[in-house]
Chain A
Amino acid sequence: MRNTIRGALLGLILVTSAGGQQVQPDVFTLDNGMKFLLLPRTDQPNSIAAGWIAKVGSVNERPGITGISHFFEHMMFKGTTTVGTSDAARDAELTARQNEVRGRIRALHLGPQYERFRAGEIADPWDPANDTDEMRELREQLRGIQDEQREITRKNEFDQIYTRLGGSGMNAFTSHDLTFYFINVPSNKLELWTWMESDRLTDSVFREFFEERDVVHEERRMRTESTPTGIYQEQFDALFWQSSPYSWPVIGWPSDLNSYTREQAEAYYETYYAPNNLCGVVVGDFDLEEAKTLITRYFSRLERREPPPPVITLEMPQLAEKRMTVTCDCPPQVEVRYPSVPFGHADEAAIEMMGEILNGRTGRLYRSLVEDQQLATSAGVRQDSRKYAGAFSFRGECQGEATPEMVEAAWYEQLARLQEEPVAPEELQKVKNQILADTYRRLETNFNLLLQLGYYEALGGWEYINTYSKEMAAVEAEDILRVAKEYFAPEKRSVAIYYRNDGAPEDPLAGFPAQIRPMLQQFVEGLPAMTADQLEEALTQLQANRGQAPAEFQGALDFMLEKASARLDELQEGGE
């Protein structure tokens, strides 16, 4: 595996066709069912991007173990019996002792502490400040064992080996549908990758299990709880998805994160990290035949297992609009989300194309909402095609004095336009030109190609990298008209409204039903322009109507009466 020039292979990899530049990796499957996508290319000499995906994510979880896929991803960097300890036997013994103590602490949390919580005696059954003496004692024991284990642990040795041998950018991520592990290695180090990855896939040891849970808690605090809208977005996801396992966050609910056991993690590993549920991807400066030899030699030691259980629960059809209102340290904004289609659905390309018509500097949203109407500083849509279901979202941030409700209404206008008139041919052609150019741009780095191939393979098939541009090129104006009508009915939407918490008193309109708030807002804004006569007339009308209004609007009428009289008083005082 020396650094030789293999330019001749280039012709095999890249075949130009009507759909733009095609990508043709060599597909190679071992007897144990592990598939590999191998793409030798010399655009970036001396370097290889390598990774593998496990077809598992939070969608495969259940209440009680939410977040375990992501937690598991962290555990995969803790080493093996060979890597990470100086004494494997003693390591195993100390781990068993830790498990035993941890099991007792866990039982005390889930038993007596949960009971105290239900009885209202403590606010949080997991807060260490609420620990009983027995629990404190056990924690002390646990710390003793951890300190002992630390003496024989070769800390982060997995990282250390890769680092000193030239690996860089090593990382992993977990999503709803997949877990991805990747790194860049110098082109003479492909065997290092095959050694390290097949080792941790055969023989992972979940060291520092409990310390790492604390790390994930901090990750949750950082990503979700200390960002302007993180916890509200999490709540919106849970509101949007009804029955689907997509309703919980990838990082998991904190109570579950507190209670995973090593046995649960090991069972997860057994079930989902079987070679027949994995796919390796290698892109860069390597020799194809040598790579196959190495991969066969190392990854064949993984044993094929039963295919993992299928995801059964389907998302229930949405019957009524859902809505939530938030006040936070965040720009005023709105999100409107609709159930759409999963990855690979026959309507996916038309919906994506509808999104492209709306997005970008020459897209409809920027031109209308940002420039012409000056309601938003940014506005865009996104189709989120997951493996088992999909969602389509509009988001807009308010400009100047515009309210989230005004941006929301402007989105509905744009939607109505898409439902009523076909998009112009040049709008469609513009997007198709860009997609064609992007088929080249996506090939510019090895790492980017690796991510795309792995991601698509996990969701349904790597071939999507080629079929996507062809299907987009085939979308016609009528297709967009059809999907705009089919997927975006008012009862299908979920709406999140965010107001800025500016330290001022609560939004005076917050308590009123959403459908009349814009009207109230307009009324209040219109008051300064009204003359005393007009105000008196309005007051008379309001009073006359008050008796006949439905009960839920009584409050609103009172509010309008109050504001109108206050303004009238102001005018009269000023006039004296």
Chain B
Amino acid sequence: MNRPNPGGPRASSLVLPLLLLLAVAAPAGAADELPSHPDEIDYGELAFEPPVAADYRHVLSNGAVLYLLPDTALPLIDVAFSFSGGSYLDPVGKEGLAALTGAMMRRGGTTSLSPEAFDQKADFLAAEISAGMGDDAAQAGLNSITANFDDAFSLFMDMVRNPGYDAARFETLKAEVIEGMKQRNDNADGILRSEWSRLMYGESHFEARQGTLASIESIGLDDMRAFHGRIFQPGNLVVGITGDFEPEAMIARLESAFAGWEAGERAPTPPAPDHDFTPGVYFVEKEIPQGKVAIGMRGLTRDHPDSTTLRVMNLILGGGGFTSRITNKVRTEEGLAYSAGSMMRPSYHYPGEFQAFFQSKSSTCALATKLILDEIDRIRAEPVSAEELDVAKASVIETFPRAFESKKAVRDLFVSEEWRPHVEGFFEGYRDRVRAITVEDIQRVAREHLDPAEMMIVLVGDWSEISPGDLDGRAKMADFFDGEATELPLRDPLTLEPIGP
């Protein structure tokens, strides 16, 4: 409060000469006083509203959806085709079909061009052409300089519509895939990922299924042709194009390139897992100097009302890098791991997962596990500090525009959102929903959706070194789940059958 003090000296008589001095000195730069903290700087507002998909959306006459985002800064055009479908459609016994079909499209030539001729043409045009099929989507892409676009796009469309499935190229691809399979047990991170997925989703769910030598050998060219026909058709297609073009001309070009290309049925959505994991400690033996550890449980779908709050909770817990609790505790304070944190894996069609992770020398794996479980307990037991929540919320709000930072980023977002379950105003209202989150909300969602007793701890490493714990006796593996631990056998990389005792 500003109260006059008639008895005291007038402040201005003392301060004014000083101010004058500073005013003279400042333009010279020498006595320029810098703000003592970044919070004292006036940054001004950065107005940003996310672009709206409907402003860029078109539907072609065969039903394919198209997003056009022209950008003439560089003489490049970038085309992305996204088809729904993926390895979740692999028939039992033919695991690997989706991946092989996607890879063969780019490698196998077309019905009128040999693979060699196709590759030579693409490379000579300096066109980047790609195709592939993942777990739940298939992609085909083209990046070309404007000057070569006509030829490059024709070549690209030939690949998308008329792939050649050259038999010799298929043999080479299979040899490569089999060589890759043989490496399955080489890397501890890879073993951890596979075992985690099997435990979390069940062996028969597509998130956990993997090809074997037998399943790859059972796949023939006709299997791929049929699979291609089912997935790579306009009824299943979203197109996104950015770069140096006129929208009207591009629409006309697509209409003519799509002529006679009949729309089929949309692929079904990926199935939810019908498996529940059993909480506990699981390990795979591998002689390495560092254990790799993952701790977690199932999470939420994006359209769950708590999903945004849970994301902010996770930023405080372990998803916010150096500003989050797990990283601070395990890495910065204790020096136990190079990377330690947690993530909420996004999911759309069925609940995703929460996973905390780290790698540490064998003797301190138990200690780091304990510290992480303690942090999960703490975020459930006590409200987070107002400062922690402010940092997490500010970070989400301030970095929100980065999701839309380039035309390509916006294009990719629109394309992938097209077939996801729609959440009304998800992007438009996102920052306001984050602003409204309170410390009580954080504690509530942590209590409702995280529970150490319901988690699994999965570990790959040298169990005999890991199990006794650290030299100072702060933690040992027997501290968790009453000392019960299940050894998971290493699997034969080609058959996936358990090997060893």
Contacts and interface: CB of A to CB of B under 8 A. Distances in A.
Contacts, number: 214
Contacts of B124: 426, 429-430, 433
Interface stretch (A255-263, A292-300, A340-348, A404-412): A292-300
B38 A165 contact: yes
A141 interface: no
Nearest to A432: B126
Contacts of B327: 156
Given A165-B398, A362-B123, A440-B75, 13 more contacts: A44-B405, A46-B48, A46-B405, A47-B401, A47-B402, A128-B471, A155-B332, A166-B394, A214-B335, A215-B338, A331-B182, A362-B120, A367-B116
A163 B323 contact: yes
> Quick one: which of B120, B176, B186 has the most chain A CB within 10 A?
B186
A497 to B, nearest CB: 17
Interface in A24-48: 41-47
A430 B123 CA distance: 6
B175 A362 contact: no
A330 B44 contact: no
Interface in A383-403: 397-400
Contacts of B281: none
Contact of B46 (A187, A208, A331, A429): A187
Contacts of B207: none
Nearest to A139: B472
B473 interface: no
Nearest to A212: B335
B17 interface: no
8 contacts: A160-B391, A168-B395, A184-B402, A195-B34, A195-B35, A225-B288, A297-B29, A436-B126
Contact of B328 (A155, A212, A330, A440): A155
B131 to A, nearest CB: 13
B186 A155 contact: no
Interface stretch (A107-115, A269-277, A316-324, A441-449): A441-449
Given A43-B73, A399-B176, A186 B322 contact: no
Interface residues of B, number: 79
A156 B333 CA distance: 10
A161 B36 CA distance: 13
B45 interface: yes
Contacts of B467: none
Nearest to A131: B471
Q: Which 3 pairs of residues, A with B, have the shortest CB-CB distance?
A: A166-B398, A214-B335, A437-B126
Contacts of A221: 289-290, 338, 359, 361
Given A164-B390, A164-B398, A430-B124, A10 B73 contact: yes
Interface string A113-124: 000000000000
Interface in B313-333: 320-323, 327-328, 331-333
B408 interface: yes
A360 B126 CA distance: 12
A362 B333 CA distance: 51
B474 to A, nearest CB: 12
A111 B437 CA distance: 57
A260 to B, nearest CB: 14
A191 interface: yes
B303 interface: no
Nearest to A42: B73
Contacts of B359: 218, 221-222, 226
A47 B41 CA distance: 18
B119 A361 contact: yes
Interface string A278-305: 0000000000000000001110110000
Contacts of A3: 46-47
Nearest to A301: B34
